[in-house]
Structure 1
Amino acid sequence: MSAASRAPQRSNRVVPRSNRALRVRRRATLAAAGAAAAALLVSACGSGGTSGGGGNTNFVTGTDGISTVPEGKRVAAPELSGETIEGKQLDVADYKGKVVVLNVWGSWCNPCRAEAKYFAKVSKEYADQGVQFVGINTRDGSTTAALAFEEDFGIPYPSLYDPKGKLMLRFEKGTLNPQAVPSTLVLDREGRIAARSLTSLSEERLLKMLKPVVAEK
């Protein structure tokens, strides 16, 4: 056998251009799907941000991420009522005359768990100072996990059950970002939005939001 016949033969098969294009499209589709999944995972329970999506220009955001609204530029919170995770009826409008702290949370959210002890503590300390805390529980498929969360952290105040985030969408555009969980709003005694945070709060930052509104006459 000659050396030429013993040498490995290269394949001269040419991959059709249409097949190569199909493979490229498939790789691009898989990459896009992976990026979308990663983005969804991050946004499912993130630290939020300083923007709720634009539209509301009354907020003045400080370097600490806490946004405030001057008294003369505040807007009323939307109607917030429904069933709590305990199965009772609640209407936030019934608390008019009190300062109301609204906290959006989910039992699946680690930043929510990090701040829960501070909300429990401050809500008890300010209960006799005309302050009412109300939770808005979101994206929990059932109330079982939410109730366990409240028991674990000793949450003494009620939470509206809002698994699909419909209550959040009632706010004026730019007030709340449905992807920012946890989020916190402070309503003044007239039911108007006075302060906001789209991130998890420490006790110090929670009090920084709350105290100025409580001090208002």
Structure 2
Amino acid sequence: MSAASRAPQRSNRAAHSSNRALRVRRRATLAAGVAAAALLVSACGSGGTSGGGGNTNFVTGTDGISTVAEGERVAAPELSGKTLEGEQLDVADYKGKVVVLNVWGSWCNPCRAEAKYFAKVAKDYADQDVQFVGINTRDGSTTAALAFEKDFGIPYPSLYDPTGKLMLRFEKGTLNPQAVPSTLVLDREGRIAARSLTSLSEERLLKMLKPVVAEK
């Protein structure tokens, strides 16, 4: 075979290889887009029922609220940093009180749906040694988050955690970083007593809170 006849064959093979590489890149791009869309959907919705396994102390009720018996509770991790207002806050300073931790974002519609209930219950229980603390996540700046708090009359502080680092401090199986909103109730010793990975009504929030408040 002459050099002239081999040249078109080499050209055809090169074109075929280039087209195959292009198809591979397109499939990878499509897969990445699907994964990103799935992450966005899961980041704000009705939440889930599992934090990823690892913590077997939770007993989940039919209403999606998980509780932990007093003798099986584990301490919450160190949670401190700047609030949306730029002030320093350390959740450990509230030891001796029941603490309600609520993970939320101004971009999250279920968070907006439950915000009025959190504001109301926080005010109702303010004189019963109950402290609410928000953990604001995935807001690129504090502007929208502060507007959210103003709109709903939120009376308690929120730690500003745009990248979700505070959520990752919890023991595996305690919180699902993709479940926003989510809520934890800490007992007076700073231990995790109850959890919800879904948006809460006032009734369900009180169902989580009241038993812990009643503990002596």
Answer whether TM exceeds 0.5 for this pair: yes
TM-score (norm 2): 0.88
Tell me whether 14-23 or 203-212 shows the greater mean CA deviation.
14-23
Q: Measure, in 2, the Cα distance between the counterparts of 1:80 and 1:6.
A: 69
Q: How has the CA–CA distance of structure 1 residues 28 and 212 changed in structure 2, closer, same or farther, with 3 Å as cutoff?
A: same
Q: Measure, in 1, the Cα distance between the counterparts of 2:147 and 2:35.
A: 31
Tell me whether 20-29 or 54-63 shows the greater mean CA deviation.
20-29
Q: Measure, in 2, the Cα distance between the counterparts of 1:4 and 1:72.
A: 84
Q: How has the CA–CA distance of structure 1 residues 5 and 191 changed in structure 2, closer, same or farther, with 3 Å as cutoff?
A: closer
Q: How has the CA–CA distance of structure 1 residues 206 and 18 changed in structure 2, closer, same or farther, with 3 Å as cutoff?
A: same
Specify the SS of the correspondent of 1:137: strand
Q: Measure, in 1, the Cα distance between the counterparts of 2:162 and 2:4.
A: 73
Contact 2:100 2:130 in 1 (8 A): yes
Q: Measure, in 2, the Cα distance between the counterparts of 1:83 and 1:2.
A: 75
TM-score (norm 1): 0.88
Contact 2:39 2:178 in 1 (8 A): no
**Structure 2 gaps, min length 5:** none
Tell me whether 106-115 or 16-25 shows the greater mean CA deviation.
16-25
**Cα RMSD (Å):** 5.4
Q: Measure, in 2, the Cα distance between the counterparts of 1:2 and 1:51.
A: 67
Tell me whether 16-25 or 56-65 shows the greater mean CA deviation.
16-25
CA shift, 1:177, in A, is 0.8
Bigger CA radius of gyration: 1
CA shift, 1:47, in A, is 1.9
Work out the percentage of aligned pairs sharing the same amino acid.
Answer: 93
Q: How has the CA–CA distance of structure 1 residues 21 and 183 changed in structure 2, closer, same or farther, with 3 Å as cutoff?
A: same
Tell me whether 11-20 or 178-187 shows the greater mean CA deviation.
11-20
Is structure 2 residue 54 aligned with structure 1 residue 55? Answer: yes
CA shift, 1:40, in A, is 2.2
Specify the SS of the correspondent of 1:56: coil
Contact 2:136 2:161 in 1 (8 A): yes
1:154-194 deviations in Å (ceiling 9; x for gaps): 00000011111111111111101111110100000111000
